[in-house]
């Protein structure tokens, strides 16, 4: 039984707890977040995207009790002071979105953890996408990249290996996130991220394609992308367009993806559908990618488009938990 601590109890941290609660070989023993334990319990119990949590949630002093299991809750700013040694936490999920560099993440090791898994892209740690480069996660600190990187990397790895990819570009149609504004407001990063998320399509930069090249370095300099943030709270779809190394047809592309979805390597990571899905149909899907076979296109033999759905919260978090199980 691996014992897990969660630092940062936001969207991903709460999803991680719910998924781990249903995972037989993992147990959450600690949560650290600056919000009050009362607010943490409330947000865990009631979720606007996924509905009311079916497990019992209540508070006993400084302990959050979930489905009868006690979880130590703290609100400590300094990583060095976190009680990971005392509660015997083996692995820390670093999901604050703040401590994303190696030096900060390593402080969890000094506090008693054996491994640190960062739930977002980093610049100076290995990037690991479960199923794609799982074995690279045998280090004390690594990043599971982003939801979009986990969505597109399996598709790129599969078609690159089976067909060959010269170069590629991504456009992800992505649900809005906490980095955007509810009403028009200034934005420090991108002006369009300051516009009202619920009523706008907002083109944005994304590092997902570049992060994919950290997991698949053979595509460095050959893969980039953009995003369009759209007025849905969860549920996204990636549009991957690439030049194939040899002539192909739609039927071959789809057959490759169907075959790979049945392999031990990818059966929990990637699936396919020939049904006419829309974004609400993908909510709470545990897969990193659900390839929409009806959307596959080939132009003039080598210009290929593949589209893949993903729940940008639940699918990503499941990927992270699968990687933790493999440690």
Based on the number of CB atoms within 10 Å of its own CB, is 64 exposed (0-12), middle (13-18) or buried (19 or more)?
Answer: buried
And the tokens for 58? 């209540």
Q: Where in the sequence numbering do the catalytic residues fall?
A: 147
Across-strand partners of 169? 224, 241
Compute the radius of gyration of the chain from its Cα atoms: 20
Torsion (CA) 64, 323, 282, 51 in degrees, nearest 10: 0
Across-strand partners of 271? 290
Contact of 145 with 129, CB cutoff 8 Å: yes
Total Cβ atoms within 10 A of residue 217: 10
Q: 5-22 b/e with 16+ CB inside 10 Å = b?
A: bbbbbbbbbbbbbbbbbe
Total Cβ atoms within 10 A of residue 285: 19
């Amino acid at each position: 039984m691996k014992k897990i601590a969660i630092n940062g109890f936001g969207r991903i941290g709460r999803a991680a707890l719910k998924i781990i609660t249903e995972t037989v070989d993992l147990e959450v023993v600690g949560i650290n977040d600056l919000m009050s334990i009362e607010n943490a319990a409330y947000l865990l119990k009631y979720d606007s995207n996924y509905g009311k949590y079916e497990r019992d949630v209540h508070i006993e002093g400084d302990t959050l009790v979930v489905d009868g299991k006690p979880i130590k809750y703290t609100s400590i700013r300094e990583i060095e002071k976190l009680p990971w040694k005392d509660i015997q936490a083996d692995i820390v999920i670093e999901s604050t979105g703040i401590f994303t560099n190696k030096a900060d993440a390593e402080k969890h090791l000094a506090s008693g953890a054996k491994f640190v898994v960062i739930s977002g892209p980093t610049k100076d740690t290995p990037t690991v996408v479960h199923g794609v480069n799982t074995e690279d996660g045998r280090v004390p600190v690594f990043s599971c990249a982003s939801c979009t990187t986990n969505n597109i990397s399996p598709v790129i790895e599969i078609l690159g290996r089976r067909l060959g990819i010269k170069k590629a570009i991504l456009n992800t149609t992505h649900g809005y996130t906490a980095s955007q504004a509810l009403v028009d407001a200034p934005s420090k990063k991108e002006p369009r991220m300051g516009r009202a998320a619920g009523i706008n399509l907002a083109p944005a930069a994304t590092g997902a394609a570049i992060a994919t090249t950290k997991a698949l370095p053979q595509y460095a300099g050959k893969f980039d992308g953009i995003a369009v943030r759209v007025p849905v709270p969860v549920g996204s779809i990636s549009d991957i367009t690439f030049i194939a190394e040899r002539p192909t047809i739609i039927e071959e592309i789809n057959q490759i993806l169907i075959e790979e979805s049945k392999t031990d390597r990818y059966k929990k990571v990637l699936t396919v559908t020939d049904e006419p899905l829309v974004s609400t149909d993908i909510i709470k899907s545990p897969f990193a990618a659900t390839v929409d076979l009806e959307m596959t296109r080939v132009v003039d033999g080598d210009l290929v488009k593949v589209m893949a759905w993903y729940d940008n919260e639940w699918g990503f978090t499941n990927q992270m938990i699968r990687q933790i199980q493999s440690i």
